[in-house]
Amino acid sequence: MADVLVLQHQDDAPAGLLAGVLTASPSTVMRTVRVHAEALPSPDGARALVVLGSDASAVGAGSAPWVAGEVAWVRRAALAGVPVLGICFGAQVLAAALGGAVHRMPAPQVGWVSVPSVDIRTLPSGPWLSWHEDAVTPPPNARVLARDEVCVQAFAAGPHLGVQFHPEVTPPIVEGWIAADGRDLADRVYDPEQLREQSRAHAQRAAKDALRLFSRWLAFSAQPAA
């Protein structure tokens, strides 16, 4: 059993920078579970769990049939004391699993955004790459770590952390999303060339901030449960 399970939902949304942090740790064994191609394993014995992004929606009746099963699986892991890091769609799954909610936003948020963090040692304020059409109502008793004028950008609930943005991305990942999007969101939400330029401009700083975020969460997840 790997001690860190990473749920990947599609080929163009990999762990990116996070994979580098996990594989660089000699005490960490990472297993990527390709949810679109294999069954979810038992979370028993895992030290930590990461849920990555997806084009799918986690909004109740509007979600794909498999989403409810993943929410239940994450709830089981969380109740067993396995720390969960949810990224974008993963943050929405985490919120739903812990008793929060997910709702459709009036308009998508795509682009590099700064988030006013209340704990910059754990969560730098960015800029971070945002690409989502849904947002969360945090679980009861969760601590909101960042919120902008659009939505809650990050929350913590015990050992669990959800971030609505994408700290894992690299410029090639962003380029893949632009290509996959075609002209769907680009025609009404963002300018592809401007997004490419911003991604190149922010890449170095974002990578350093992501290293800090991932390393602190990984160290925290390694601590014995209270």
Q: Which of 9, 70, 160, 168 is catalytic?
A: 168
- Residue 197 bears catalytic tag: no
Separation between Cα atoms, residue 135 and residue 177, nearest integer Å:
19
Residue 195, both tokens: 């997004």
Angstrom distances, CA of residue 123 to CA of 63, 193, 212:
29, 28, 8
- DSSP H or E run through 33: strand 30-34
Q: Which residues pair with 162 in a beta bridge?
A: 86, 155
Q: Does residue 55 come out as left (phi exceeding 0), alpha (psi in the -120 to 50 range) or beta?
A: alpha
> Residues 9, 88, 160, 202: which is the catalytic one?
88
Query: Which entry of 9, 160, 166, 202 is annotated as an active-site residue?
Result: 166
Report the DSSP pairing between strands 143-147 and 152-157: antiparallel
Q: Is 88 a catalytic residue?
A: yes
Catalytic site includes residue 38: no
Query: Active-site positions?
Result: 88, 166, 168
